[in-house]
Structure formats: C-alpha cells, structure tokens
Amino acid sequence: MTADATLDVVGIGNALVDVLSHETDEFVAAQGLVKSAMTLIEPDRAEQLYQAMGPGIEMSGGSAANTIAGVASFGARAAYMGRVYDDQLGAVFAHDLRAQGVTFDNKPASDGPSTGRCLIVVTPDAHRTMNTCLGASALFGPDDVDPDLVRSAQVTFLEGYLFDRPESKEAYWVASKYARDAGRKVALTLSDLFCVERHHDDFVPLVRERVDILFANEAEACALWGCDEVGAAVERARAEVAVACITLSEKGSIVVAGAETHEIPARPVDVVDTTGAGDLYASGFLYGYTSGLPLARCGELGTLAAAEVISHIGARPDVPLSTLLS
C-alpha cells in the first residue's frame, strides 16, 4: 500500500435513497418487475410503482455509497463522490454518509431532476427487486470528480451501475487515470448482469486497462468474458486483473490474484433482506486490502460484512462493523 495516502477508499456511484417495502411475489408479477435485478425506470413509472407499493421505509442507499459506508464502519478513512439535488432526500443522503464519518463534498445540484430513488421490493424469500429512478445522480460527469480526493486515496472504487451515460463513462476514465497516475489502485464492481450486458463493449477495455481489483458475481463475470461456466470466468479474471473477487451467493466467494486462489465459504445467517450483500462484501474486502491484510483475510472480511447486512432490512450496517472484528 502507498504510505502517504490520507484516505483509504474513495467511491464513485449513483447517489440514491432507497424506499423499501415488503411485497408478495404476486405483486412482483403483477407489476411486471424483473425479480432480483436492478431495473432503471423513468420518473412517471417510479411514481406509479410507488403508489402501488405498501408503506415504506426510507434509507440512504446507492451501491458504492453502501460500500463506502461499510468501509468507514470498519474504521477506515473513506470518501464518496456522487450527485444529489438540493432537496430533503438529498440532505438525508448526505447526512447519512457524513454521520458515518465519510467525506462527501459534492455540492447538491440546484437545477435538474430531484435526488434519485431506488424503489426496492423485498419478497418473502428475502430477495430484493430494485427499480431505480436515477434523478440527479445520472448527471454525474468528469467535472464532478475531485482529482485531489482520488489522488489521496489508496483505492478508488467505481460502481458499474453508474457506468451508463457517456458523461459518466468519461468520468470513470478520468478518475481512473488520476488514480493510476498517482500510483493508486482502481477497483470496480460490475454491479448487475443486465448492466454488464448493456455496456459490455465499454466494460471490457475499462477492466483491462484500468482495473486492479474487480468484484463480480458469477453471472456478471461470465457475461463480461462470454464464459459458459464460472471456472472459465475465474481463469479469465486471473489473466485480466491483478485481484478478482467472484461472489457465489450462499456458496461463498473465490478470490484470485496471479497464482493465488482462495475459496472463502459463506457464513450461515438467517437472511432477512439480501439488499447490499455485494456492496458490503466489497466494504470488507477493501477495508482488509487497504489495511495490508492477506487476500484470504480480505475475502473473509467481505463475507463478514455481507453476512451482517443480509441479516436485517436495509443495505447499510446496523452495527459498527469494527465491533465484529476479532
């Protein structure tokens, strides 16, 4: 690790507030939702779906923001870049990151769409079906990247979900260049199968040229490299990036780095809501990585944080993750 870094991890992603409600599988079917996936929706559809949903609870979300909140919860030095509007939900999003000790300095937008929301339907099987109205978050571009923040962090963490519009793709190329030029590392999570499929041809060069640490579940890894089974994807990951974490849900995860291979078992846990599982796996891994721990231990910390977040409603830790360290 680079000794002079003043931050451990800075994350970039869609700044969203989650709205969660418990619904039946019949509701998911009747609303034509893509179960367990993340679907982008327009404001009109978001309003319509919200009206159909039951009473909700609101919590700050956003994939990379959840990861960064988890990194800070472990006690590491963390910052976040993302775009909110100057409204009540934007203030909630900013508060919740700062209250976790995360540096978040992007000024709220004073024109354009309101703060993004993710309408999350949790079904009795604990799966979450996400319907995201990006709002202000989608307009993140290269000018929203703070070069000094990127240069000061050991790792810049990018969320695949944001890699959607030309401006945000440009922001990732810009941010990863600042990081690399400063001798820092770049981490990326592929986020979602459909996301990988939509932007496949743009993800491949970004991963090859700029990514040091890749997070992906098996379906996303297979889609990225056109593999039929996870073993082949793991070998492609080994060849393409310095460190890759392939998560396998209840079967745990595989961490590969050059000749190293670590199979990390999942932790037994009563699953209440899978929202944030992948986000928090990245928290634990990056906390370990920036602390200079061995990769196998980094993977275990990822599993530890993921187990905590799926044991309750919501995508951020309920307890300081530092208290779970032993």
What residues make contact with a copy of itself under the rule CB under 8 A? 21-22, 50-51, 53-60, 69, 87-89, 92, 95-97, 99-100, 114, 314, 316, 318
Nearer to a copy of itself, 6 or 88 (CB): 88
Nearer to a copy of itself, 168 or 274 (CB): 274
CA-based torsion, 168, 169, 174, 176: positive or negative: positive
* Token output for 93: 């999003």
Nearest to 76 by CA among 12, 18, 14, 11: 11
Nearer to a copy of itself, 18 or 212 (CB): 18
Q: Minimum distance from CB of 124 to a copy of itself (Å)?
A: 11
Placement of tokens 């319907």 in the chain: 131
Please answer whether residues 290 and 283 qualify as being in contact, where contact means their C-beta atoms are separated by less than 8 angstroms: no
Q: Minimum distance from CB of 69 to a copy of itself (Å)?
A: 7
Alpha carbon distance 144, 150 (integer Å): 12
Please answer whether residues 34 and 193 qualify as being in contact, where contact means their C-beta atoms are separated by less than 8 angstroms: no
Q: Minimum distance from CB of 290 to a copy of itself (Å)?
A: 21
Nearer to a copy of itself, 91 or 293 (CB): 91
HSE-CB for 45 with a 13 A CA cutoff: 14
Q: Minimum distance from CB of 47 to a copy of itself (Å)?
A: 10
Q: Minimum distance from CB of 52 to a copy of itself (Å)?
A: 8
Nearer to a copy of itself, 193 or 313 (CB): 313
Alpha carbon distance 175, 110 (integer Å): 24
Please answer whether residues 279 and 315 qualify as being in contact, where contact means their C-beta atoms are separated by less than 8 angstroms: yes
